[in-house]
Structure 1
Amino acid sequence: MVFKRLLGSIGVGGPTVDTALAPGAVLPGGRLAGEVRLKGGRAAFDIEHITLELTARVEAETDDGEHEGAVVFDRFKVGGGFRLDEDEERTLPFTVTLPWETPVTELHGQPLGIVLGVRTELGVAGAKDKGDLDPLRVAPLPVQEAVLEALGQLGFGFMSADLEYGRIGGTGQQLPFYQEIELTPAPRYAHAMREVEVTFLANAGGVEVVLEADKPRGLFSAGHDALTRFTVGHAGVEGRDWTAEVDGWMRQLAAGHGTRSVPAPHGPADAYGTHADKSEHGHDHHDHHSHHSAGPGAGTVIAAGAAGLAVGVVGGMVAAEVVDEVGDFFEGDDDEDGADEEG
C-alpha cells in the first residue's frame, strides 16, 4: 500500500512512502523481509527515522462490554538520518525478526480470522506520521502445526480464533495479548466438554501449549472451565506420535487430571478495566459464548489438507468475511489518524 498522505506539519509536497513485504507467510520468531520505497517531495527533507510497527487487532473485555482495538506489539527502526532530495527515489531493504509469540494467521493457507499488519512510521522535520497498514501473514511453527494436525485427526473442529488482551499467569507470556483457537470437541469428548481453546506461547526453546475446556454442568456440579498446560521443544517434531500424545492431553483435560477449575462468573476488573486473573493459572476468563457468533459452527467445516484441522470455509463465505474484516480494520485504523489520502 502506498502512503500518499501529506505530513500535517509539512504541508503540500511532502515525501511519500510505500512499504512492500516479501511474498508469502512467515513463521513466529522468523525473519520478515521487505523494502521501504521513498519518493521525495517538492523540496528536500531530512528523514529522521523510518520505523516499522507490528500491529494486531485485539479484543478486550471491560466492565462496559467487549471492545476491539489496535495494539502495537513490536517496533523496528529500519532507516533514517539522511536527506531525501526533491523528487528523489530511494529504496531501503530491511529484515527484522518477529517475536516468538506472534499470532498465527493461517493454517494450510486458510485464514483463521486473525488480523495483523505492518505500519510504517516516517519521522520528518520533528513530526511523526504513520502510513498504511500492510497485511502480515504468519504460518504456524512445526510444533504448532503438529498439534493442530493431531487435533484434526482426533476429530476436533475449528470454530474461530481471536486475540485476547491480558495475560495467562504462570506462563512465560511476553506479549500483552494471547491467541485463542476455539474448537468444537471430538465426538469422543463431547460428553466432557462443550468447547476447547488452544493457546500457543512460543519461545526460542519450545512452545507452551495451554488448553482450556468449557466443562458442561453436571447433575451435582456447575459448569466450569478446566485448564492445563504442556511444554514441548522445537526439536524432534517429525519423530513423535502427535495424535497419541495430544489425545493423552485431551484425556487428562476431560478427566480433570492435572488441571485447575475456574468458575464461570467474571472476576473483578483491573485498573485498565479488563477483567483480572481468576485462577492460579491466571487465565483471563470471559464468557466464550458471547463473541464468536459470527464464526462458523461445527456443521460448516471442511478439512484443510488431507489430515488438517477442520477450518471453517464453505464456498468462500468465511474467507470473504475475513477479507472484509481485514479491510475494515486497516481502513478504520487509518481513519483514526484524521488525515486524508490522495490517489
Structure 2
Amino acid sequence: MFQRFLASVGIGAAKVDTVLQRDEWAVGEEVKGLVHIAGGAVEQNVDSIYLTLSTTYTRESDDRKVSITQDLAKIRLTDPLVIKPGEKREVPFSFTLPIETPLTFGLKKVWIRTGLDIKHSMDPSDTDYIQVLPGTLMSDVMQAVQSLGFRLRQAECEELPHRLRGSVPFAQELEFLPVSGPFYRKLDELELLVFPRSLNELEFIMEIDRKAKGLAGLFSEALDLDETRVRFTVTPSDVATLAHRLEQMIKKYC
C-alpha cells in the first residue's frame, strides 16, 4: 500500500521515454518513433499513452508581450493497459506533422510531450523538441523571396484577430531584410504572414515596409503610412513565375 502511495506521487512509478527516428521533420511528413515504457515498483493501470504536439505564440496584453502555449495535435496511442512492476514495453507510433506547425529555424519552439494517463497519480511524461522544416511549396516561396536579395531575419508566431483565425489562433510571421538585389536600400523590411490552407496551397499577407526618404518619408514612417499590405495565394502551378510575380508586387509599392 505504501509503495502505491509513493507511485501516485511519482516515486517508484512507471517511466516513459520517447525516441524519435530523427529530430528534423518537414511540415506534412510522417513523424515516427518508439515510446519506451519501464514499469516501476508496483503494478499500475494506464488509461492511455498519448502524444501532444505543442508550440508557443505571442499575445500582446496591456502593452506587453506574453508567451502562450498552443497544442497543435493530441494523439492517443493505446487503449487502457496494465504495466507490471519492472516490465519493459515499446509502442511504435507515427503521425502527420500538421500544416499549422510553425517552422523553427533552429529555435526550440515545437515539442512532443509523451504522457501516461494514470488515474489518481502523477502522470509520467517525456518531452522532445523537434526542428520543423518547410514543406516543398513553402521552400519554393522562400527561395523566390531570397532570389530577390532578401535574407530571413526572424520568425515569430503572433496571435491573430478573430476574423483572421483558422484552426489555430496564431500565424507565423517571417521577417526579411533586403541585403542585395533590386530592393536594397529601397525597403526597410519585407514581412510575410503565413496562412497554410493545405500542403499545396499557401495564403500570405505581405507587408512592404518602404524606406523613409526625406521629411515626407519620415512623416509617413512615424504614422505607419510607409507600410503596405498585399494578400495573395501560392500553389505549385505558381512556382515557376513566383519570383517575377513577387518582384512586380513589391515594385508597385516601392
TMscore range, shorter length: 0.7 to 0.9
| SS of residue in 2 equivalent to 1:241 | helix
CA distance in 2 between counterparts of 1:85 and 1:31 reads: 31
Given residue 224 of structure 2, which amino acid in structure 1 is its aligned partner? G
Give the unaligned 5+ runs of structure 2: none
- Deviation per CA, 1:1-39, whole angstroms, max 9, x where unpaired? xxxxx9873442100000111215222233111111100
Aligned residue pairs total 241
Change (3 A) 1:11 1:136: closer
Given residue 112 of structure 2, which amino acid in structure 1 is its aligned partner? V
Q: Would you say 1:232 and 2:225 are equivalent positions?
A: no
CA distance in 2 between counterparts of 1:117 and 1:93 reads: 18
> Contact conserved, 1:146 with 1:237, CA < 8 A, in 2?
no
CA distance in 2 between counterparts of 1:174 and 1:24 reads: 25
Q: Would you say 1:182 and 2:183 are equivalent positions?
A: no
2:51 matched residue in structure 1:
52
| SS of residue in 1 equivalent to 2:25 | coil
Change (3 A) 1:44 1:242: same
1:315 matched residue in structure 2:
none
Q: Would you say 1:197 and 2:191 are equivalent positions?
A: yes
CA distance in 2 between counterparts of 1:121 and 1:64 reads: 36
Let me know the Cα RMSD of the aligned residues.
2.6
1:70 matched residue in structure 2:
69
| SS of residue in 1 equivalent to 2:53 | strand
- Deviation per CA, 1:26-81, whole angstroms, max 9, x where unpaired? 22233111111100001111111111111113222111411224322221111241
TM-score (norm 2): 0.83
Alignment identity in percent? 26
1:248 matched residue in structure 2:
248
What's the offset of the Cα at 1:125? 2.8
Change (3 A) 1:155 1:130: farther
| SS of residue in 2 equivalent to 1:149 | helix
Give the unaligned 5+ runs of structure 1: 1-5, 256-343
Moved more, 175-184 or 66-75: 66-75
CA distance in 1 between counterparts of 2:203 and 2:228 reads: 17
Describe how 1:73-222 pairs up with structure 2 within 5 A.
Answer: 73-106=72-105, 111=106, 113=107, 115-127=109-121, 129=123, 131-167=125-161, 169-170=163-164, 173-185=166-178, 188-190=182-184, 193-204=187-198, 205-216=200-211, 219=216, 221=220, 222=223
CA distance in 1 between counterparts of 2:209 and 2:120 reads: 52
CA distance in 1 between counterparts of 2:134 and 2:88 reads: 36
> Contact conserved, 1:167 with 1:173, CA < 8 A, in 2?
no
What's the offset of the Cα at 1:192? 5.0
Given residue 96 of structure 1, which amino acid in structure 2 is its aligned partner? F
What's the offset of the Cα at 1:154? 0.8
CA distance in 1 between counterparts of 2:43 and 2:49 reads: 16
What's the offset of the Cα at 1:208? 0.8
1:223 matched residue in structure 2:
224
What's the offset of the Cα at 1:187? 5.2
CA distance in 1 between counterparts of 2:43 and 2:77 reads: 20
> Contact conserved, 2:158 with 2:173, CA < 8 A, in 1?
yes
Change (3 A) 1:123 1:114: closer
CA distance in 2 between counterparts of 1:82 and 1:47 reads: 5
